[in-house]
């Protein structure tokens, strides 16, 4: 293993400092360690040097410096990604956008805003308060994740069921390409003319360049919102209700399901009003014109009753609505009350198979002696089994990763896909051949090469590479520096 020692006299560090200012390059042990991983359980990374540009031009300059020194680069936002996408491989320059937090322009009439990539998701919606508009994609990490990360991962969130994931809300992106040029992909108005390169870039996980400015579409606040909290005696009855609601023709703004373990972990802290006796709790949010919302509340109540719901409660005011959502958004943090660590999975399955697949996920965890908690975007079949563990227990990590692989294979076996929103990153690239034929993977590689012929943008992510590049077989956690 090759380890590089950096000093401020290192020519690469000196050139980066010339590009972004001496205070905005970090090469010490703390930075190397801090930027070596993201929010996932995947390890193996080691940041060589970290730079924090303040403008699009500085991002492009950092890329050019990295290339001049023969180094790859890794774009990074807040590091909340859950697939190892921002984990640094190949001794790269990490280019973090967290200083680029300006909301450059808001055009209320055209419902469009230009933002820098380091803007935190929730800060944009807070900035828009009172305008009657908001940014619709709302990942559960929205208090900390950046819009650049959302674009790169084509992120989703509870309200993406009706409104669509990030791609539907990005009109154009300014990109620093892997050769250091700045280009704009997409248009402020209208659908893309010719090949939709904006569409290719969104979800590119930082392998096609770095988003330096983003034109996001803004969504009108709905005139009426009803938030329903439903208790069920089993997870199957809750899952069947989700399918039946969508089959009835209603598309709720959100449908989020939590099992009893999640509810019992969250409720004592969030005081969200969840029933501790329910085997599953479902949040359904309906929005639109008042008369339509009232009709849909009745319909959902009727459908839930027919599927065995124990109770249906409609939030009586904004304060109660916020409490219901606070519980859901605090779910991942609350598991610390059970075990210190978790591995959060992300696959999509056909909504009609929810009940049987969740039962099988629970059986996988039982067989491996693990605790699994289920909290997920049920409306779009996006499973999020949380395997919680204490890694000080001998052998537990191996069981966690093996269970994760079983969950992936189970999801694919029922016609699902590898990821609903967290992306492929390092975590799932070795499973890509389970979903795609070699010709499909080659086509994706050709697209990547069109942006990045030399493979310097976020190497080793998304597409499987050969064993010589340190390919990993199956899910596993790698020690820091594996990829250096
Ligand atoms: C508690 C918790 C809850 C979560 N809930 C959700 C959820 O509901 N829905 C969801 O979709 N995700 C969720 N996530 C995952 C994560 O928050 C999202 O993927 C988010 O979009 C990542 O943003 P980030 O700024 O942290 O990006 P990072 O983790 O820093 O990077 C993610 C990827 O984007 C690339 N990247 C970052 N910035 C740029 C840029 N400017 N240009 C090009 N590439 C870039 C990186 O190279 C990497 O591949 C959750 C994570 C946590 C920890």
DSSP symbols for 56-83:
HHHHHHHHHHHHHTT--EEEESSS--SS
- CA 80 to ligand 1 center in whole angstroms: 5
Phi then psi dihedrals of residue 341, to 5 deg: -130, 160
pLDDT, position 4: 54
| Residue 180 in this model has a pLDDT that exceeds 80 | yes
pLDDT, position 469: 33
Q: Which CATH class is domain 224-331?
A: alpha beta
Q: Which residues contact 341 (CB under 8 A, 6 or more apart)?
A: 41, 388, 389, 390, 391
Please report, for residues 452, 459, 460, the alpha-carbon distance to residue 466 in angstroms, rounded to integers and kept in the order given.
18, 12, 10
- CA 202 to ligand 1 center in whole angstroms: 12
pTM of the entire predicted model: 0.93
341 exposure class (CB count in 10 Å sphere: 0-12, 13-18, 19+)? middle
Ligand 1 atom 52 nearest Cα? 141
Mutate to test the pocket of ligand 1, among 145, 178, 265, 378 (most ligand atoms within 8 A of CB): 145
24 pLDDT band, cuts 50/70/90, is: very high
Architecture of domain 11-96 in this structure:
2-Layer Sandwich (3.30)
Instruction: Give the neighbor-by-neighbor strand order of the sheet with 182-186.
Output: 103-107, 112-115, 210-217, 170-176, 182-186
- CA 120 to ligand 1 center in whole angstroms: 11
| Residue 1 in this model has a pLDDT that exceeds 50 | no
Please report, for residues 8, 261, 303, 381, 430, the alpha-carbon distance to residue 232 in angstroms, rounded to integers and kept in the order given.
60, 14, 13, 18, 38
Can you give the residue ranges of every domain in the chain? Answer: 11-96, 103-220, 224-331, 339-447
pLDDT, position 82: 95
- CA 300 to ligand 1 center in whole angstroms: 33
Ligand 1 atom 28 nearest Cα? 79
Q: How many CB atoms lie within 10 A of CB 443?
A: 12
Encode pLDDT of 128-144 as tens digits.
999 999 999 999 999 99
- Identical fold, 224-331 and 339-447: yes
State mean pLDDT over 150-155: 98
Among 214, 217, 221, which Cα is nearest to 111's? Answer: 217
Encode pLDDT of 272-288 as tens digits.
999 999 999 999 999 99
Mutate to test the pocket of ligand 1, among 76, 210, 258, 385 (most ligand atoms within 8 A of CB): 76
Place of tokens 């650049």: 148
Among 45, 31, 43, which Cα is nearest to 74's? Answer: 45
Tokens of 374: 């289920």
The reply to whether CATH 3.40.710.10 applies to domain 339-447 is no
pLDDT, position 42: 83
- CA 69 to ligand 1 center in whole angstroms: 28
CATH number for the segment(s) 103-220: 3.30.465.10
- CA 447 to ligand 1 center in whole angstroms: 22
Q: Is the CB of 80 under 6 A from ligand 1?
A: yes
Encode pLDDT of 321-339 as tens digits.
999 999 998 888 888 888 9
């Amino acid at each position: 293993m090759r380890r590089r020692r950096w000093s401020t006299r290192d020519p690469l560090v000196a050139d980066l400092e010339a590009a972004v200012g001496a205070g905005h390059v970090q090469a010490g042990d703390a930075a190397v360690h801090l930027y070596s991983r993201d929010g996932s359980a995947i390890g193996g990374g080691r940041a060589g040097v970290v730079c924090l540009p303040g403008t699009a031009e500085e991002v492009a300059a950092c890329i050019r410096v990295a290339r001049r020194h023969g180094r790859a680069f890794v774009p990074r936002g807040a590091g909340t990604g859950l697939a190892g996408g921002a984990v640094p491989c190949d001794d790269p320059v990490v280019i973090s956008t967290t200083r680029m937090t300006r909301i450059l322009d808001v055009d209320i009439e055209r419902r469009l805003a230009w933002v820098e990539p380091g803007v935190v998701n929730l800060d944009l919606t807070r900035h828009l308060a009172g305008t009657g508009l908001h940014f619709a994609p709302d990942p559960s990490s929205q208090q900390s994740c950046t819009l650049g990360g959302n674009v790169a991962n084509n992120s989703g969130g509870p309200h993406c069921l009706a409104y669509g994931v990030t791609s539907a809300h990005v009109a154009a992106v300014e990109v620093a390409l892997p050769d250091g040029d700045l280009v704009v992909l997409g248009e402020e108005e209208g659908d893309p003319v010719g090949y939709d390169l904006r569409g290719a870039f969104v979800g590119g996980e930082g392998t096609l360049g770095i988003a330096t400015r983003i034109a996001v579409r803004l969504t009108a606040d709905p005139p009426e919102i009803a938030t329903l909290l439903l208790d069920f005696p089993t997870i199957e009855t809750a899952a069947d209700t989700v399918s039946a609601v969508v089959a009835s023709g209603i598309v709720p703004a959100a449908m989020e399901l939590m099992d009893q373990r999640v509810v019992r972990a969250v409720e004592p802290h969030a005081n969200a009003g969840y029933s501790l006796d329910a085997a599953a709790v479902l949040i359904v949010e309906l929005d639109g014109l008042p008369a339509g919302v009232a009709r849909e509340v009745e319909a959902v109540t009727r459908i839930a009753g027919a599927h065995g719901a124990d109770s249906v409660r409609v939030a009586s005011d904004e304060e109660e609505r916020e409490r219901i959502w606070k519980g859901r958004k605090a779910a991942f943090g609350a598991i610390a009350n059970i075990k210190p660590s978790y591995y959060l999975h992300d696959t999509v399955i056909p909504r009609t198979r929810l009940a049987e697949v969740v039962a099988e996920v629970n059986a996988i965890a039982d067989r491996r002696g693990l605790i699994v908690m289920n909290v997920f975007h049920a409306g779009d079949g996006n499973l999020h089994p949380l395997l919680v563990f204490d890694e000080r227990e001998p052998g537990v990590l191996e069981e966690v990763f093996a269970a994760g692989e079983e969950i992936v294979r189970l999801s694919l076996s029922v016609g699902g896909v590898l990821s609903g929103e967290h992306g492929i990153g390092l975590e799932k690239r070795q499973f890509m051949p389970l979903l795609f034929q070699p010709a499909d993977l080659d086509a994706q590689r050709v697209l990547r090469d069109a942006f990045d012929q030399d493979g310097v943008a976020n190497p080793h992510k998304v597409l499987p590479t050969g064993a010589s590049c340190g390919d990993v077989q199956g899910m596993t956690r790698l020690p820091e520096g594996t990829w250096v």
